[in-house]
């Protein structure tokens, strides 16, 4: 079994319910949820002129490969009503694979660790809550250290 860390977000409709529905859907697709962070209300990233988000992170065990997990997450997003619009635009649900064990993977369709993980407070806050000692396989820094570095860079 692999340990996966997944970021969850929504800024349309009943945001928290959308996130909870995604978590329930993951459970029915070979993903055993071990930890779920609190839900955080966060400002949009990338495109600022849109509603605020609800974000969370989860830790899960899965037998799915990284690509199978990505396909499953995309299928869940579609099943919950997500349609592709503009990059970083409003979305009913967003599932991001942040870490998959200690794997470093770079393909055209999937990058692990998530390439924007290091510069997104809305990812680092909930991830730090459930996995502060998780080591980033690229930098060898813990999630707690990454969050602290981000906070310091944001507020020197």
Give the active site residue among 14, 94, 106, 120.
94
| Per annotation, catalytic residue among 82, 106, 120, 136 | 82
pLDDT for res 42: 86
One-letter-per-residue 3-state SS of 29-89: CCEEEEEECCCEEECCCCCCCCCCEEEEEEEEEECCCHHHHHHHHHHHHHHCCCCCCCCCC
Structural domains for the chain: 2-154 (3.30.70.560)
146 CB-near residues (< 8 Å, 6+ apart): 117, 118, 124, 136, 139
Q: Is 106 a catalytic residue?
A: no
Task: Report pLDDT digits (tens) over 5-49.
Answer: 999 999 989 999 999 999 999 999 989 999 999 999 988 776 777
Does residue 94 carry a catalytic annotation? yes
Instruction: Write down the pTM of the prediction.
Output: 0.92
Name the residue with higher pLDDT: 57 or 92: 57
Q: Share the mean pLDDT of the chain.
A: 91
Q: Which is the catalytic residue, given 91, 106, 120, 121?
A: 91
The answer to whether 120 is a known catalytic residue is no
pLDDT digits (tens, 9 = 90+) for 81-120: 777 776 666 788 999 999 999 999 999 999 999 988 888 8
- Give the pLDDT mean for 133-140: 96
């Amino acid at each position: 079994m692999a340990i996966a860390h997944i970021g969850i977000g929504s800024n349309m409709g009943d945001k928290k319910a959308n996130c909870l529905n995604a978590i329930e859907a993951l459970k029915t697709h070979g993903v055993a949820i071990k930890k779920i962070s609190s839900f955080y209300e966060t400002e949009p990233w990338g495109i600022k002129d849109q509603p605020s988000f609800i974000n969370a992170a989860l830790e899960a065990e899965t037998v799915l490969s990284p690509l199978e997990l990505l396909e499953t997450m995309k299928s869940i997003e579609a099943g919950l009503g997500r349609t592709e619009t503009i990059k970083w635009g409003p979305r009913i649900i967003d599932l991001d694979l942040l870490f998959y064990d200690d794997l470093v993977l770079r393909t055209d369709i999937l990058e692990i660790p998530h390439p924007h993980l290091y510069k997104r407070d809305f990812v680092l806050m909930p991830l730090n809550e459930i996995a502060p000692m998780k080591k980033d396989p690229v930098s060898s820094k813990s999630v707690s250290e990454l969050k602290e570095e981000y906070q310091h860079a944001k507020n020197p």
